[in-house]
Chain A
Amino acid sequence: MYSRAYKTIVSAPPLLWIALFLLLPYALMLAHSFWAVQDGALVHHWNLDNYKKLFTNPLYAQVLFRTMRIAASVMLCSLLLGYPLAYYLSFHSGPRKELLYQLVIVPLWVSYLVRGYAWKTILGSEGVLNGFLQYLHITHEPVSFLLYSPFAVVLMLTHIYTPFVFLPIYASLEHIPRPLVEASQDLGATPASNFFRVILPLSIPGLLAGAIFAFLLSIGDFLAPLLVGGPSGTMIANIVQTLFGAVYDWPLGAAISVGILLISISLLFLTERLEKRWSFK
């Protein structure tokens, strides 16, 4: 047993950290969302106008909807890439497993910005991809939809978040006891029914964790749309950034943030319920 003093000393720093850098900012944000701006200055005048604007101005709903669509696409694409990758590594990579695992992880060490600019270089009208397409005479002039589009945002975010999706899926696949897979084959399951009846159901907690990771990280992203999104790829976080930075309407920015936070928390809650339903101990 640990002494009371020991427990206090060990738990104080993280609790203090959470209070200072998480709870306090959230409380401030929540307060701001009920305040107002008059003549370019913040006034502590409690009201619901900011939230009314969210529901009356169609721009916000439109951008929020686009953001959700982009986030959902990123989630789907990174699952489609990350799951097979994790499955291959966990079940069929043999002695190359460690090496391949490292190769999946290495991109995480490269700065987000560097990767963003790399995609700009690849997708631009003077970029690597367009040059290649013209060199092959597949196209005769630069393809413009590549850069500054929702497509580019999805591509870049998928690239960045696939390792985050891969990791929890890989962990849950690694946790499936191999005798279960052998028992399934032993009972007559072909590789396909083996996958769908045993491996997939038992990896659902990892799959859910990866999916929610990709979705939530994408919803809050503002750099990808800034770098490769263009006007048609603007996301909700860009609007928040503009409201805080350029327009100086902190209350409205805070109200949007609270909205995003509520969506995120409900999704996390839902995922946790689902994960519990699919975990067997």
Chain B
Amino acid sequence: MSSAAIPQPSSVDANAPLLEVRAVAKRFGSRDVLKNISLYIASGEFLTLLGESGSGKTTLLRLIAGFEQPTSGEIWMSGERLDTLPPYKRRVNTVFQNYALFPHLNVRDNVAYGLRVQGVPKNEIPARVDEALNMVKMEEFAAARPSRLSGGQQQRVALARALVNRPQLLLLDEPLSALDANLRKQMQSELKALQREIGTTFLFVTHDQEEAMALSDRIALLRDGALEQVASPRDIYAHPATAYTALFIGQTNLLPGEIRGSIATCGALRWPLDEPDGPVLFSLRPETIRLSPDGMRQANEVKFRASVHQQVFAGASELLEVDCGAGQLLRVRLPACGPLTGEHEFVFSIADATRVAD
């Protein structure tokens, strides 16, 4: 199939940046909440702002929605300056953390709110509201007050209320954080399916790295108000640029060591590495380390003996803490294999030891 010949709908044209954040900084009093953020979001993309609480992710979202003004820098959307417009003039809609449904309006009126205040012709409103409620499977609750709905149902209504306006960009501020774990997983997949179906650009904020990995086309990791790394989930997981990223996204072993004469040495582990001499830091994911039952080793692998220090059974896998000598502990994730004790041979491939910045 030659997909190039088929004209893509503009909403999923992945090359056109829809939103551009240019050198934006935000200062509250003497605190720099955001420092020189530059970021683009492609049309149709699902981008996640990931970070700990206080990293500035919600502030960035609020700057784009228009609830805060940047101290410096500019925000552009579809070739138009966005940060100088009041919130009600932006073609951006938000799904709020605690849904912020209007308690005095029923579900239908909540969803219709945006269309009414924007002066959409009265005869168009019912059909669009029905369409939006149908999209989130909430038609049967149209007459209910928000207070009668469960968290998950309120979540859907909040989504419908935002999407009914056909925003160019949908902002989602930790929308799933108030839901319990099971419902959360279910909403994640529904959200992703919905985004694929309607092709609206999503900017999603979360502190949950698993959620970010599951949903996003790209993840922008924020740390203390600065962008730490922006990459696809697979990229950011396999190639974390910094120790912070490696630790924040998934689990890892950080191995401090040094390179001398094209040999990397990290405690008891050593392997050839053709790079200049000096101190180094490696990230080695626990699941990249395997048992080496036959004692054989490929040329590009590192083999080591270690004693099992601790073992935690996690269903499909086992989490081990192994001691490779001199108190150097490594975390190892193996497929479920039954209890292990004593010394074993482990192996990992050199390519999996990713060099990271401090």
> Smallest Cβ distance from A195 to chain B, in angstroms?
12
Known A177-B100, A188-B165; judge A182-B67 contact (CB<8 A).
yes
Query: In the complex the two chains form, is B88's CB within 8 Å of A189's CB?
Result: yes
Which of A's residues lie within 8 Å of B, judged by CB?
177, 179-180, 182-190, 193-194, 197-198, 201-202, 278, 280-281
Query: In the complex the two chains form, is B100's CB within 8 Å of A188's CB?
Result: no
Query: In the complex the two chains form, is A198's CB within 8 Å of B102's CB?
Result: yes
Query: In the complex the two chains form, is A185's CB within 8 Å of B87's CB?
Result: yes
| Binding-face segment, B20-28, B113-121, B258-266, B314-322 | B113-121
Proximity string of chain B (81-102) to chain A, C-beta cutoff 8 Å, 1 when within and 0 when not = 0000011110011101110111
Contacts of B98 in A (CB 8 A): 177, 179
Query: In the complex the two chains form, is A281's CB within 8 Å of B147's CB?
Result: yes
B104 within 8 A of A: yes
A186 to B65, CA, bound (A): 7
Closest B residue to A197 using CB positions: B117
A177 to B101, CA, bound (A): 10
Closest B residue to A189 using CB positions: B117
A280 to B92, CA, bound (A): 28
CB interface residues, B 109-144, toward A, < 8 Å: 113-114, 117-118
Contacts of B92 in A (CB 8 A): 186
Query: In the complex the two chains form, is A182's CB within 8 Å of B87's CB?
Result: yes
A179 to B173, CA, bound (A): 12
Contacts of A281 in B (CB 8 A): 103, 147
Contacts of B88 in A (CB 8 A): 185-190, 194
Closest A residue to B145 using CB positions: A280
Proximity string of chain B (219-245) to chain A, C-beta cutoff 8 Å, 1 when within and 0 when not = 000000000000000000000000000
Query: In the complex the two chains form, is B114's CB within 8 Å of A187's CB?
Result: yes
Proximity string of chain B (55-88) to chain A, C-beta cutoff 8 Å, 1 when within and 0 when not = 0000000000111000000000000000000111
Contacts of A198 in B (CB 8 A): 102
9 contacts between A and B (CB under 8 A): A180-B100, A183-B100, A183-B101, A183-B161, A185-B87, A186-B66, A187-B118, A280-B104, A281-B147
Query: In the complex the two chains form, is A188's CB within 8 Å of B103's CB?
Result: no
Closest B residue to A186 using CB positions: B94
A177 to B117, CA, bound (A): 20
How many residues of chain B are within 8 Å of chain A by beta carbon? 27
CB interface residues, B 131-175, toward A, < 8 Å: 145, 147, 161-162, 165
> Smallest Cβ distance from A174 to chain B, in angstroms?
16
Which of B's residues lie within 8 Å of A, judged by CB?
65-67, 86-89, 92-94, 96-98, 100-104, 113-114, 117-118, 145, 147, 161-162, 165
7 nearest interchain CB pairs? A280-B103, A187-B114, A179-B100, A183-B100, A189-B117, A185-B87, A188-B118
Query: In the complex the two chains form, is A183's CB within 8 Å of B67's CB?
Result: no
A186 to B66, CA, bound (A): 8
Query: In the complex the two chains form, is B145's CB within 8 Å of A186's CB?
Result: no
Closest A residue to B118 using CB positions: A188
- Neighbour of B113 across the interface among A179, A187, A190, CB < 8 A: A187
Query: In the complex the two chains form, is A201's CB within 8 Å of B117's CB?
Result: no
Contacts of B145 in A (CB 8 A): 280
Contacts of B65 in A (CB 8 A): 182, 186
Contacts of B102 in A (CB 8 A): 180, 183-184, 198
Contacts of B104 in A (CB 8 A): 201-202, 278, 280
Contacts of B161 in A (CB 8 A): 183, 187
Query: In the complex the two chains form, is A188's CB within 8 Å of B114's CB?
Result: yes
Contacts of A188 in B (CB 8 A): 88-89, 114, 117-118, 165
Contacts of B162 in A (CB 8 A): 186-187
Query: In the complex the two chains form, is A193's CB within 8 Å of B117's CB?
Result: yes
A280 to B96, CA, bound (A): 19
Contacts of A280 in B (CB 8 A): 103-104, 145, 147
Query: In the complex the two chains form, is B93's CB within 8 Å of A186's CB?
Result: yes
> Smallest Cβ distance from B30 to chain A, in angstroms?
15
Query: In the complex the two chains form, is B93's CB within 8 Å of A202's CB?
Result: no
Known A182-B87, A280-B145, A280-B147; judge A187-B100 contact (CB<8 A).
no
Query: In the complex the two chains form, is B117's CB within 8 Å of A186's CB?
Result: no
Known A197-B113, A281-B147; judge A183-B94 contact (CB<8 A).
yes
A179 to B97, CA, bound (A): 9
Residue among A179, A198, A201, A281 having the largest count of chain B Cβ atoms under 10 Å: A179
> Smallest Cβ distance from A78 to chain B, in angstroms?
25
Query: In the complex the two chains form, is A179's CB within 8 Å of B165's CB?
Result: no
Query: In the complex the two chains form, is A184's CB within 8 Å of B113's CB?
Result: yes
Known A280-B103, A280-B145, A281-B147; judge A187-B86 contact (CB<8 A).
no
Known A179-B98, A202-B104; judge A187-B147 contact (CB<8 A).
no
Contacts of B86 in A (CB 8 A): 185
- Neighbour of B66 across the interface among A177, A180, A185, A197, CB < 8 A: A185
Contacts of A187 in B (CB 8 A): 88, 93, 113-114, 117-118, 161-162, 165
Seed contacts A186-B87, A189-B113, A278-B104; 12 additional CB < 8 Å A-B pairs: A177-B100, A182-B65, A182-B96, A183-B100, A185-B87, A186-B66, A187-B117, A187-B162, A189-B117, A197-B113, A280-B145, A280-B147
> Smallest Cβ distance from A194 to chain B, in angstroms?
8
> Smallest Cβ distance from A269 to chain B, in angstroms?
23
Closest A residue to B86 using CB positions: A185
